[in-house]
Amino acid sequence: MKLCAQTMTVFNRMSERDGLELFKSVGFDCLDYSMFQSVAGEFMNQPLEDMLAYYRDLRAMADEIGIPFGQMHAPFIPAEGSKPDSLKPYVLRAIDACGILGAGNLVVHHNHSRIGMFFSEDEILSSTFDYYRQFIPRALERGVTICVENLPYYADKNRRFIPSPLSTPGGMNLLIDRLNDFAGEQRFKACLDIGHAALLDDSAPSMVRRLSRNLGCLHVQDNDFAHDSHIMPFYGKTNVIGVCKALRDMGYDGAFTFECEESILCFPTALLPDALRLLHSVGRYLISIVEGKAEP
């Protein structure tokens, strides 16, 4: 099983080449490219061919250094004052970039992740299907699998997270199966963020088992069951060992991808290598459980 790290924190601190060489030297197998540049900014709005040239150069650099891209995350925050559907042209650009990087899986947030609480479950599933299906032709062209992430609502009066139709395995499986039927092939999968699942009664091990055949990739992070903290496993309360056992039982063979940037951001640049080494050690330990080589 490949151990995968998110690029955002490191690429924001140093050049892409230095960042790739750092990840390689620490021992990560592949990378999750974070396309988190502002959709209102210059990078995301440059001519398409200029942007694609950047990703071709980045792919060539990664190939030279010997660390591939294992998955990618599309932009998910609309420009201030715009509607969620305004992200469509940027998601299309992300699909193009994902194909060039050879990342395979592209995590795309659904368009109800912030406003869905105002609609019925049927309305949410129907409009979300319509949102995702518009990306099918480009995904087929680029050989990209679109991964639907479990996203709860941050909604109730006590500022707690509550379930959404697409934070549950039932809703996710229904949407993914329908999209794959429409596409005519397996072009959609689930991205299970175990921290998001933990915010809803620590349900991550159960979600692994219930998503089963539709589980395509992971966001491994921890929290205190109250905040979407994105911290390193064992810093919070998430049953990460239970998740690893569930992954082992279902035969998961995708990448083990960390999305715990808050445990890295707090360190000065000089300590980034040490912080990443700790993250790497935690990842190798957890992978050994998934692979049945260690018993906690």
* 270-280 pLDDT per residue, tens: 999 999 999 99
Q: What is the mean pLDDT of residues 117-138?
A: 88
In whole angstroms, what is the distance from residue 65 CA to residue 241 CA?
33
When comparing pLDDT for 155 and 224, which is higher?
A: 224
Asked if 233 and 260 touch (Cβ cutoff 8 Å), the reply is: yes
> Which of 36-40, 46-50, 90-94, 192-196 comes out lowest in average pLDDT?
36-40
- pLDDT band for 156, please (50, 70, 90 cuts): low
Answer whether residue 110 shows pLDDT above 60.
Answer: yes
Answer whether residue 284 shows pLDDT above 70.
Answer: yes
- What values do phi and psi take at 156, rounded to 5? -80, 170
What is the CB neighbour count within 10 angstroms for residue 64?
Answer: 10
CATH 3.40.50.970, applies to 3-290: no
- What values do phi and psi take at 179, rounded to 5? -65, -40
In whole angstroms, what is the distance from residue 21 CA to residue 15 CA?
10
Give the residue extent of every domain in the chain. 3-290
3-class SS of residue 168? coil
State residue 22's pLDDT score.
Answer: 98
Asked if 61 and 20 touch (Cβ cutoff 8 Å), the reply is: yes
- pLDDT band for 45, please (50, 70, 90 cuts): very high
Q: Average model confidence (pLDDT) for the chain?
A: 92
Answer whether residue 261 shows pLDDT above 80.
Answer: yes
